[in-house]
Structure 1
């Protein structure tokens, strides 16, 4: 059973470093806490924030997001990263983050909450449908050398 949890943004380098093992579960290409800190600093210049569920001081789930604008949605909130520790799934942390980020989006005048997921990630897709997100398109990408 989970202890008392808190929802708080990771702001300091120490807080981000504490989130490294958690974020690496989603982004295994991250090699070190330093790389996470440096990449997050770059993303922060674009409005990125990392909202974390802390359980007794340990990060158990996180949502990295940013407010954006485009011609499709107008103002919207994009979730770059959404992860719950593999050993902590099923405890409601993901739902807690979706609700919190949705509230942040509404508070910033956003009309949509948007995220991408891998086509093969059926478990995540099922979670997103249960959370009220709908599949509205495909995401295409091309590696540039």
Structure 2
């Protein structure tokens, strides 16, 4: 039986933090919960997760928001996708992306898109995106302000 993707509402955000810290280790767990619930969620950020067992901690999570742009029209933007190391290689990332694509269709979106970091540590993630027919559509530039 395939695991189910379930919403992670405010008040349950802590269940996603261990997986999210795989991407954002600079945040203390309590700080990350605070940022997500007080700053990100009010701006449309939503979380879903997969549990691999009876643990209170999600094995894999996906954070996303719906947005509208002149480039893509209505779209679902995957902000975060992460799986705990012990659960990698079991298809959870694939299930989360399939769920995101289905949710995007339900919401009338024209596209699903995401940004991914560079480097060999993201090679497995990049293979997943390519396998699901995501293409590199642009370069993302950033300037950090002092």
TM (normalized to structure 1)? 0.90
**Partner in structure 2 of residue 5 of structure 1:** 3
Aligned residues: 141
Q: 1:19-59 CA deviation, whole Å, 9 max, x = no partner?
A: 22111111111112x21221112111121111100122331
Provide the secondary structure at the position in 2 that maps to 1:76.
Answer: strand
Q: 1:86-144 CA deviation, whole Å, 9 max, x = no partner?
A: 11111111111001111111111110101000121222211110122111111111111
Cα RMSD over matched residues?
1.5
Higher strand proportion: 1
Distance (whole Å) between structure 1 residues aligned to residue 145 and residue 10 of structure 2: 33
**Partner in structure 1 of residue 68 of structure 2:** 69
TM (normalized to structure 2)? 0.89
Mean CA deviation greater in 96-105 or 116-125: 116-125
Runs of 4+ deviating beyond 6 Å: none
Question: How is 1:45-60 mapped onto 2 (pairs within 5 angstroms)?
Answer: 45-58=42-55, 59-60=58-59
Question: How is 1:75-114 mapped onto 2 (pairs within 5 angstroms)?
Answer: 75-114=74-113
**Partner in structure 2 of residue 123 of structure 1:** 124
Distance (whole Å) between structure 2 residues aligned to residue 4 and residue 124 of structure 1: 20
